[in-house]
Amino acid sequence: MRARYTLLAWTAAAATYVLIVLGAVVRITGSGMGCGDHWPLCNGHLLPPLHDIGTMIEWSHRLVAALVSALVVGLAVSSWWTADPGNPGLAPGVSRALWHW
C-alpha cells in the first residue's frame, strides 16, 4: 500500500507542476478567455471545437485542473483511509517524516 500511496503523491505533485506551467502558458498567450464566461463549460460545450488555439490552451488547463483536483482528493482519502491509529489523520510514515523535517 505504501508504494501506491507514494506513487499517488508523486503523480499529484507532477500534475500540479504541469498545471502551473499550463497556467503560465495561458497567461503568456492571453488565452484566459478562450472558453469565454462559461464555467464549467467551454463556450457552452462540454467538449468544445478546438479549432482555436486559445480555446485549446484554456480547455487543456481546465482539464488538468480537474485531474489535479481528483488526485488531491484521492490523496486525502488515501491518507485518511490508511491513517496510523496512533496519529489519526496521518498516513503511515508521515508522522515520522514530519518529526524528521
pTM of the model: 0.75
- Selecting among 58, 64, 68, 71, the annotated active-site residue is 58
What's the farthest any 2 CA atoms get from each other in the chain? 55
pLDDT tens digits along 27-71: 999 888 888 787 778 888 888 887 889 889 988 998 999 999 999
What separation in angstroms does the CA of 84 have from each of 4, 55, 65?
Answer: 16, 45, 30
**Active site annotation includes 58:** yes
